[in-house]
């Protein structure tokens, strides 16, 4: 089978099957072999690995993954792509294609079935409109994960790896950095895709921590605090948390906790590090 990373091969297969791009699935197929190789190299794929690929499209990256990995499980939501994948991946016996929505798939079950429950690697060119739910779903599902190497919108990649005090810093930054070490591998311009997206993209690798970098008694409570403090960024942390309405803590308890942290009651949530959110959550848990 011809390498699909070469544009004319991609165009040929799309014409053969008279494939129409579905806007609702955010389909942009990669047509740059250099970028594909960088993704595979960054993910450190070996023949010992099971790789979960989300949204294989016509199988462009899947071909590269199949050459390196022991096993590739590719989950594709668009049923019109299944016959194309049968052809483009026909010569690989280590690939399983599943026609389903990744947000509904039991990924932990796949890791058990195809990898004996050992940690898997995720590689994907993600549809931009559901990047965050997919990433958070992977981290929160309890699936054994070694790393996630993904193509996302450049702005989202930036958001995942920035620190406090920047305009991109927010709940996503903190959630990702609680679970993994983020590292931007490459910036990818729109002309590397068919059809061309309107925004730039980036490849980011999230290497899962064996143990989160902060000790927090109740992580879900900490994330509720984080979301509440970024929902109204311009407010002080105290007002943001009191105005959230879904937190079982009083204004007095928040002010007292900040005093114990030797911080002013006028501090804003966007200046807080992950470590500070963990301390605040633990202090408020004591009072609950």
- Helix (H) or strand (E) segment spanning residue 177: helix 171-179
Residue 182 CA: distances (Å) to CA of 112, 152, 187, 214 = 26, 13, 14, 16
* Angstrom distance (rounded) from CA 92 to CA 243: 55
> 166-178 burial string, b = 16+ CB within 10 Å, else e?
eeebbbbbbbbbb
Residue 11 CA to its chain's centroid (Å)? 28
Q: What domains lie within the chain, and their CATH numbers?
A: 7-208 (3.40.50.150), 219-287 (1.10.8.100)
48 token code pair: 């010992």
Residue 114 CA: distances (Å) to CA of 20, 121, 134, 180 = 32, 12, 20, 24
- pLDDT confidence band for 59 (50 / 70 / 90): very high
Q: What angle do CA 55, 58, 62 make, to 5 degrees?
A: 65
**pLDDT digits 0-9 by tens, 231-259:** 887 889 999 998 887 788 899 999 999 99
- pLDDT confidence band for 205 (50 / 70 / 90): very high
Mean pLDDT of all residues belonging to the chain: 93
């Amino acid at each position: 089978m011809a390498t699909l990373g070469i544009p004319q091969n991609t165009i040929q297969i799309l014409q053969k099957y008279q494939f129409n791009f579905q806007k609702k699935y955010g389909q942009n197929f990669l047509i740059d072999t250099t970028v594909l190789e960088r993704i595979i190299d960054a993910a450190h794929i070996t023949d010992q690995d099971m790789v979960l690929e989300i949204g294989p499209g016509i199988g462009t990256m899947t071909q590269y993954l199949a050459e390196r990995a022991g096993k590739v499980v590719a989950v594709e939501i668009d049923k019109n792509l299944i016959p194309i994948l049968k052809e483009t991946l026909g010569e690989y016996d280590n690939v399983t294609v599943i026609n389903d929505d990744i947000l509904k798939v039991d990924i932990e079950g796949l890791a058990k079935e195809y990898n004996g429950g050992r940690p898997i690697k995720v590689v994907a060119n993600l549809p931009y409109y559901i990047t965050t739910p997919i990433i958070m779903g992977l981290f929160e599902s309890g699936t054994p994960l070694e790393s996630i190497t993904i193509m996302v919108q450049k702005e989202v990649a930036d958001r995942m790896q920035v620190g406090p005090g920047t305009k991109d810093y927010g709940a996503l930054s903190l959630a990702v950095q609680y679970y993994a070490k983020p590292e931007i591998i490459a910036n990818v311009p729109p002309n590397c895709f068919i059809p061309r997206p309107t925004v730039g993209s980036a490849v980011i690798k999230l290497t899962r921590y064996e143990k989160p970098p902060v000790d927090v008694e109740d992580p879900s409570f900490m994330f509720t605090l984080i979301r509440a403090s970024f929902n109204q960024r311009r407010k002080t942390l105290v007002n943001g948390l009191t105005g959230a309405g879904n937190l079982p803590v009083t204004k007095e308890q928040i002010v007292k906790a900040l005093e114990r942290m030797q911080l002013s009651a006028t501090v804003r949530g966007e200046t807080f590090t992950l470590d500070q959110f963990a301390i605040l959550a633990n202090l408020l848990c004591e009072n609950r």
